[in-house]
Structure 1
Amino acid sequence: MNDPTRRILMGRIHGAFGVRGELKLESFSDPPEAVFRYRPWVLRDAQGRERELDGGRGRSTAKGIVLQLPGVDDRDAAEALRGSELWVPRGALPPPKPGEYYWVDLEGLRVVNTAGIDFGTVSHLFSTGANDVLVARGERERMIPFIEPDYVTSVDFDAGVVTVDWDADF
């Protein structure tokens, strides 16, 4: 959780916005415009090449988040960045509020049920719209609604364990 070298995926570029080099950005922050608060940005292109960005800025519009990057001055340059990802160091994010978690901090924690049965580790989480779902991978994959305290009874970062009230046969 406190690994200063770990980076968090904060957004993905979906192409050009207009003709002046602006970019359409899918932001993974909540709210979406919060992505502009976290620095430094690292841009990873589709080939995996990375570069740290300095001086990028953006705004929220009725059509979504728009990003302007230094050196990207026309539509062709913007289109060339389609599919690139925007990353920030984990340490750039503020500490979560009590009882809240960054999904990335949960990844890799052991998952056990209240009977002590090991379900493996947290692979990832995703949102269904109704609730978030924790995916535990061990001898098989389990999808557990991330609803506290009904199904997720505790998260212990010191012990590296998420305890769930979930039947081993599900």
Structure 2
Amino acid sequence: MIVLGRIVAPFGVQGWVKIHPFGDDPASWRKMSYWWLSRDDTAPDAQWKQYTLNACRVHGKGLVAALAEIPDRNAAEAIDGYYIAAPREALPATAEGEYYWGDLVGLAVDNEAGEALGTVSGLLSTGAHDVLQVQDGEGEDATERLIPFVAAYVLDVDLAARRIRVSWEKDW
């Protein structure tokens, strides 16, 4: 499953929910007939429950949505905090140079000198741009690098080779 966002609050009394999206184009989610919800964003695919999307619209910096299985505010309160995901094949296709966050997590990151900087452990949305969280090592010796996901620093993303090449020094 590709995690798309998180339900952050009920919205109104008719079962609508407010959603904090993880990504740039949450309005494209309207193209999907179904969303999958789980309390745990790392749950195996079989533990995600399918919901039917009735309506979805942009609201401020996020979305509000109505799901067929959520008829009222009480039901919406029961799924507050749940994550929203979809199988990769259910998602709208990405344009050239666009990626789903879930496609980037786990990729190795190297700099221009060929030095290994670590592995993408997650992404952050800062408002201005997304930021790669790159984990190098484990335990007390681990280093986390925060690399802006912008063309000035991210030179190449190769999903097939599971690598990202960046303009970033190892000691930054």
Would you call these one fold, judging by a TM-score over 0.5? yes
**How far is 1:22 from its partner?**
2.6
- Any conservation in 1 of the 2:23–2:101 contact (CA below 8 Å)? no
Distance 1:53 1:163, change over 3 A: same
Matched, 1:60 2:57: yes
**How far is 1:39 from its partner?**
4.0
- Any conservation in 1 of the 2:23–2:100 contact (CA below 8 Å)? no
Matched, 1:72 2:70: yes
Matched, 1:36 2:38: no
Deviations 1:2-60 (A, max 9, x none): xxxxx1222322333222333233334544332221243212147x7642123x31232
What CA distance in whole angstroms lies between the structure 2 residues aligned with 1:40 and 1:128? 28
SS in 2 for 1:129: coil
What CA distance in whole angstroms lies between the structure 2 residues aligned with 1:65 and 1:25? 5
% of aligned pairs identical?
42
RMSD value over aligned CA atoms? 2.4
Unpaired segments ≥5 residues, structure 2:
138-142
Moved more, 132-141 or 113-122: 132-141
Q: TM-score, normalised by structure 1?
A: 0.79
SS in 2 for 1:94: coil
Deviations 1:51-91 (A, max 9, x none): 2123x312326566332223433322222221122211111
Corresponding residue number in structure 1 for 2:140: none
* Alignment coverage as a number of residue pairs: 161
Higher Rg of the two aligned structures: 1
